[in-house]
Amino acid sequence: NGKRIAFASNIVGSLYDLYVASVTGGHVRRLTREGPDTFEPSWSPDGAMIAFAQDGAIAATDLSGHIKELTDTENNDSSPAWNPHPPPSGG
């Protein structure tokens, strides 16, 4: 919606974590903590989730910081992207 940005930074400690901030630069909030480096945030089309690369896998988080792994580390996944058009429902 153009009101927030997501970014990865190592501003706190040596590992990169995922942060969200208002576009005016205020209200910075850290969403990931004390895990492997987190990179390449990608907003979902509805702005409710952020996908990101972490330790060779793709994960997603809501704005409360609840993380769900979407892939495993086997294929060294990176550069998450959302499909903006959901599949048709029904038959």
Tokens at 53, concatenated: 């690369």
Tokens at 88, concatenated: 């048709």
pLDDT digits (tens, 9 = 90+) for 27-75: 899 999 867 899 999 999 999 999 999 999 999 999 998 999 999 988 8
Number of neighbouring beta carbons within 10 Å of residue 86 = 7
Q: What is the pLDDT of residue 5?
A: 94
Question: How far are the Cα atoms of 3, 6, 86, 88, 90 from residue 50, in angstroms, in the given order?
Answer: 14, 8, 17, 23, 27
Q: What CA–CA distance (Å, rounded) separates 88 from 27? A: 37
Q: What is the pTM of this model?
A: 0.84
Q: What is the pLDDT of residue 44?
A: 93
